[in-house]
Amino acid sequence: MRNLILPFILMLTFVFSCRENDIDEGLQQKNTSYDLYVAGRENNEACYWKNTIKTALTGGINYTTTNIFFDNNNLYILGFDVTALTDGINFSFWKNNIKYDVPTYLGISANTSTNQNFSMSNFFVKNGDLYIAGLMKNPSATSAQNLYQYCYWKNGVKTIVFEQNNYQTSASLYLFGNDVYVPLQNNITVSNTAPTTWDLGYYKNNTYHFVSTLSNFLNIHEDNGSLKLLVMDHNNQTVYYKDLLTGATSPSPSFISYSDYSYSLQTDSNDKYFVGREKYYKNNIQHSMYSASSNFKFLNDFKALDNNIYKILHTDDITGVNYNVYINDVIVQSALNTSNNINTEFLSLTVVPQ
């Protein structure tokens, strides 16, 4: 049983079934001025659907997808080869259905069963610039202290943020204007006689800033010109914001708590959406992600645009893993699978003005 399918994790295989006439009518009623793109997998092949019409991705056999988005009228889809799960995942991406293997694009060694060379943490495009970030083996290590590098690549050009002695990191990369932020846990000390200790900090343009001890970062929320690091403090069992521009701290919304913290922020004009697994808050007003009687309880993706809600939910029970795509809680696309023949999946979506 799976609880939530996360962006960089991967899948099995699926069967597709839908009533296209009903779906087309739903799209016309709810989405007359936008195109809805859904990325996923069908018949062991990575693909996407534009308003329910399927396009197979070039070289997508044995691949699944994880992310889909537009930038500057270009369609980007990220995915990986599911047959290599035990040998080390190697990601590929498609730009307008032209496939690029990430290791080749970055000029680094691919992962194998004996060589885990690169672990991706971020993939996105902003204003036409393609960013990839992650931890890799240092090809020119000089000591045990710099065996690994956390790096990001902008249009294939590498920048090293920090180096360390192990192949584990919690770092992630965010852009705010022309500044690059990388929050992370570091200075980890493990002892058989004392509790594990660590620091929470962040790099801004490769300069390190300390935040707190025994704390984790949950997210960075960009909101009305401010950049707020969402911090989970294990010392006091609290969650709070630290403004990375002013240094000030402030409470997080009351529903983001130490026991229920997994919320991401989306903005739609002047509306703020905090999106969790089972519910979301629009301007601090709670909404259920699914109806109480529904078996579609597991969220794959969520977007808010022009006061409309687009989401993918799936089931996960003895009847199978089934998928629905919704616009304002109206089903517009479905994939029905049996428990022993899971062939079609919907994993992410994006919405684009026509």
Q: Look at residue 25 and tell me whether its pLDDT is greater than 70.
A: no
Integer Cα distance of 300 and 66 in angstroms: 10
Check residue 188 and give its pLDDT: 86
Write down the mean pLDDT value for the chain.
89
Integer Cα distance of 52 and 161 in angstroms: 42
The sign of the torsion formed by the CA atoms of 125, 129, 135, 136 equals: positive
Mean pLDDT of 30-40: 83
Integer Cα distance of 106 and 41 in angstroms: 25
Higher confidence at residue 351 or residue 25? 351
Q: What is the pTM of this model?
A: 0.88
Check residue 31 and give its pLDDT: 42
Task: Identify the weakest region by mean pLDDT among 97-106, 192-201, 334-343.
Answer: 334-343
- pLDDT confidence bin for 24, thresholds 50/70/90: very low
Using one digit for the tens of pLDDT, what is the confidence trace for 135-191?
A: 999 999 999 999 999 999 999 999 999 999 988 888 999 999 999 999 999 888 888
Q: Look at residue 27 and tell me whether its pLDDT is greater than 80.
A: no
Check residue 32 and give its pLDDT: 55
Which residue do the tokens 């620091």 mark?
199
- pLDDT confidence bin for 28, thresholds 50/70/90: very low
CB 185 within 8 A of CB 194: no
Characterize 11-33 residue by residue with b for buried, 16 or more Cβ atoms within 10 angstroms of its Cβ, and e for exposed: bebbbbebeeeebeebbeebbee
Higher confidence at residue 65 or residue 10? 65
Q: Look at residue 10 and tell me whether its pLDDT is greater than 60.
A: no
Assign 3-state DSSP to the chain and report helix, strand, coil percentages, each to 5: 5, 55, 40
How many CB atoms sit inside 10 A of residue 352's CB? 14
Which residue do the tokens 């996407």 mark?
48
Integer Cα distance of 269 and 255 in angstroms: 22
Mean pLDDT of 23-43: 72
Integer Cα distance of 174 and 229 in angstroms: 11
Check residue 30 and give its pLDDT: 47
Check residue 155 and give its pLDDT: 98
Using one digit for the tens of pLDDT, what is the confidence trace for 233-265?
A: 999 999 999 999 999 999 999 999 999 999 999
Check residue 162 and give its pLDDT: 96
Check residue 6 and give its pLDDT: 33
- Of all residues in the chain, the percent with pLDDT exceeding 90 is 76
How is residue 102 written in tokens?
A: 């990430």
Q: Look at residue 83 and tell me whether its pLDDT is greater than 80.
A: yes
- Give the end-to-end CA distance of the chain in Å, rounded to a whole number: 38
Integer Cα distance of 140 and 337 in angstroms: 48
Q: Look at residue 276 and tell me whether its pLDDT is greater than 50.
A: yes
CB 210 within 8 A of CB 199: yes
